[in-house]
């Protein structure tokens, strides 16, 4: 008898929870339907502001992209100069060796 009573209590509790869930879903649907015209009206009123926001974000995005692209080019030039400037003495020595070897050979055309 105790097990049957426990089963009835559990099933009753589940029935109460199910009824409450259905009631809350129904209440939520009713509130959504009642507030829908207000949401649509506010959406139509705020549409120009949303369009303005999108335009401003696009302008700022393009400007920021141009600024970051310029910074990237300057950074690349700086890194290349930082790497290549210490190699200038080596390039100078290689150029001198090339001139010495070139001056020691005979010309190919008379």
Average pLDDT (83-92) is 93
What are the tens digits of pLDDT across the range 3-14? 888 888 888 999
pLDDT of residue 110: 62
Cα 66 to Cα 73: distance, rounded to the nearest angstrom: 11
Name the more confident of 52 and 5: 52
- What is the rounded average pLDDT of the residues 36-44? 92
User: pTM for the full model?
Assistant: 0.48
Q: What is the 3-state secondary structure (H, E, C) of the chain?
A: CHHHHHHHHHHHHHHHHHHHHHHHHHHHHHHHHHHHHHHHHHHHHHHHHHHHHHHHHHHHHHHHHHHHHHHHHHHHHHHHHHHHHHHHHHHHHHHHHHHHHHHHCCCCCC
User: With bands split at pLDDT 50, 70 and 90, how would you rate the model's confidence at 2?
Assistant: confident
Q: Where are the domains of the chain?
A: 2-104
């Amino acid at each position: 008898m105790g097990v049957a009573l426990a089963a009835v209590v559990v099933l009753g509790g589940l029935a109460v929870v199910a009824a409450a869930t259905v009631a809350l879903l129904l209440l939520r649907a009713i509130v959504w339907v009642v507030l829908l015209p207000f949401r649509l009206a506010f959406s139509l009123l705020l549409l120009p502001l949303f369009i303005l926001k999108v335009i401003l974000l696009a302008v700022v995005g393009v400007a920021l992209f141009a600024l970051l692209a310029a910074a990237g080019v300057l950074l690349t030039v700086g890194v290349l100069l930082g790497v290549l400037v210490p190699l200038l003495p080596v390039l100078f020595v290689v150029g001198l060796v090339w001139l010495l070897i070139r001056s020691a050979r005979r010309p190919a055309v008379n």
